[in-house]
């Protein structure tokens, strides 16, 4: 066990204890770095804890997962050492906080708890005084977690919140007071609805909490996103899996409204965020304007039995109203998407043509009513293989982008703005984007 402790501590030497500028010679490049005296003393303290019947117990989730962590907890510019242990005999979990004093580290505080492991730890200044609160998740059994919040002013911990059961946890300034809040989400049980509960700290150190509902039918939280609404209000977008009439995924949007922590997307009649229910597809800041949007699939006019879809992206205001911000066509297989002008809606169809080796083509067509004919007006092409860049500018094609493994081009098949819809070379070029992995929708 001592050997494990020594190896782990060696991993943080280069990050913390070996700082500053230095000169090297050829011989220096082959010599081991000098170990600071402070490090050796810290290692001795930790080895004593390990030798006394403890083992490392690093948090298993969240942003901080090291067994030994370095954070400035009291805002004095000096990082404290926070180490996580479990007692081999009785499984007691302990967090040791080491304070640097002169050239040594001393144990400043020890926080104890029970559970099978540390689920997570977050260091959060909840009241803006420069001193971090410790938000600790304790794993009790595989399906049960509890959250505690400790203040550590003067390195004497005080329990502020105890035994709050949760499934997921997030930290974000929902209340817009310049300090972070802690939000825990609890999945529903047979008798109790799923909830979101926010904890905020007042200037006098008092913790206050508010609670709101998750959609009925939620079974698991898949991810939590932070972002802004149309009116600039910060919000949490909670994406969950479940069983709903029109899909298997829902996004609940939580924000502060009229002083209350509210699920602004929730339908008060059905207790479901109806407008965000869909099949697997992630919310995104798709056009990089700072506003998170929820997607809704819309089937395009068919030219064959193969179905193709556009995605309408909606943004919310804090009053719960939603606005369609943009529409896209996503070609997940070829890893690109196109932002579609609004006047293409209900007038454009799509088909694929892969008949030319080394070229994968999507053709956009204008659908003419009432005769139902299709008029091609745009090709978007992904080219690969030998001479791809040259082929991208052959004939009437225009190069859009050269990626690491492919070249993208387009070709107008009709004069710009034909058929009464908006399109030209600049629109295609400006509205073309590559797909990031977290935007994949699972649809054609």
Q: Which residue has the tokens 């004069």?
A: 415
pLDDT of residue 302: 85
- List, in sequence order, every beta strand (DSSP E) within 202-321: 207-213, 218-228, 234-244, 247-257, 260-263, 294-299, 309-316
pLDDT of residue 191: 81
Is there a contact between 300 and 346 (Cβ–Cβ < 8 Å)?
no
Is there a contact between 131 and 151 (Cβ–Cβ < 8 Å)?
yes
pLDDT of residue 36: 78
Given phi > 0 = left and psi -120 to 50 = alpha, else beta, which region is 335? left
Distances in Å between the alpha carbon of 440 and those of 98, 311, 358, 427, 434?
A: 45, 12, 23, 23, 11
d(Cα 208, Cα 181) in Å, to the nearest integer? 10
d(Cα 227, Cα 254) in Å, to the nearest integer? 11
Q: Which residues does the chain have with pLDDT short of 50? A: 1-5, 8, 12-31, 438-444
H-run or E-run covering 425: helix 425-431
d(Cα 402, Cα 404) in Å, to the nearest integer? 7
Catalogue the long-range contacts made by 262-267 (C-beta closer than 8 Å, 24 or more residues apart): 262/212, 263/196, 263/212, 263/213, 263/214, 263/215, 264/229, 264/235, 264/316, 264/318, 264/319, 264/320, 265/294, 265/316, 265/320, 266/212, 266/213, 266/215
Closest CA to 378 of 346, 409, 337: 409
Share of the chain above pLDDT 70, in %: 90
Q: Which residue has the tokens 């799923």?
A: 194
pLDDT of residue 210: 97
d(Cα 83, Cα 68) in Å, to the nearest integer? 4
pLDDT of residue 175: 94
**Pairing, β 218-228 against β 207-213:** unpaired
């Amino acid at each position: 066990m001592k050997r494990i402790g020594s190896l782990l501590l060696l991993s943080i030497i280069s990050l913390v204890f070996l700082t500053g500028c230095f000169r090297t010679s050829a011989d220096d490049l082959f010599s081991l770095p000098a170990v600071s005296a402070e490090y050796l003393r810290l290692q001795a303290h930790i080895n004593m804890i390990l030798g006394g019947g403890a083992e490392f117990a690093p948090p298993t989730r969240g942003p901080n997962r090291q067994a030994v962590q370095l954070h400035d907890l009291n805002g004095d510019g000096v990082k404290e050492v926070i180490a996580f242990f479990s007692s081999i005999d009785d499984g007691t979990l302990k967090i040791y906080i080491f304070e640097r004093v002169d050239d040594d580290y001393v144990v400043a505080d020890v926080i104890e708890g029970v559970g099978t492991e540390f689920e997570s730890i977050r260091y959060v200044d909840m009241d803006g005084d420069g001193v971090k609160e410790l938000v600790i998740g304790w794993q009790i059994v595989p399906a049960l977690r509890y959250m505690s919040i400790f203040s550590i002013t003067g390195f004497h911990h005080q329990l502020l919140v105890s035994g709050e059961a949760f499934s997921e946890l997030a930290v974000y300034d929902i209340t817009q007071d310049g300090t972070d809040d802690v939000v825990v989400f609890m999945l529903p049980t047979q008798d109790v609805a799923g909830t979101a509960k926010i904890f905020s700290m007042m200037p006098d150190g008092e913790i206050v909490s508010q609670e709101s509902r998750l959609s009925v039918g939620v079974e698991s939280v898949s991810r939590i996103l932070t972002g802004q609404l149309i009116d600039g209000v910060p919000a949490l977008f909670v994406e969950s899996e479940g069983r709903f009439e029109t899909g298997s995924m829902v996004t609940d949007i939580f924000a502060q409204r009229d002083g209350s922590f509210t699920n602004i997307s929730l339908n008060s009649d059905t207790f479901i965020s109806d407008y965000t229910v869909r099949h697997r597809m992630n919310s995104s800041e798709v056009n990089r304007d700072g506003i998170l949007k929820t997607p809704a699939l819309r089937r395009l006019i068919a030219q064959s039995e193969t179905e193709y879809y556009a995605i309408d992206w909606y943004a919310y205001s804090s009053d719960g109203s939603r606005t369609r911000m943009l529409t896209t066509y996503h070609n997940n297989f070829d890893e690109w998407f196109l932002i579609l002008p609004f006047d293409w809606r209900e007038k454009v169809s799509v088909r694929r043509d892969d008949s030319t080796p080394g070229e994968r083509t999507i053709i956009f067509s204008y659908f003419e009513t009432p005769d139902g004919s299709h008029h091609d007006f745009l090709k978007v092409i992904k080219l690969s293989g030998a001479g791809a860049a040259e082929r991208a500018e052959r004939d009437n094609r225009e190069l859009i982008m050269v990626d690491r493994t492919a070249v993208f081009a387009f070709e107008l098949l009709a004069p710009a703005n034909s058929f009464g819809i908006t399109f030209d070379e600049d629109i295609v070029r400006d509205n073309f984007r590559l797909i990031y992995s977290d935007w994949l929708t699972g649809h054609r």
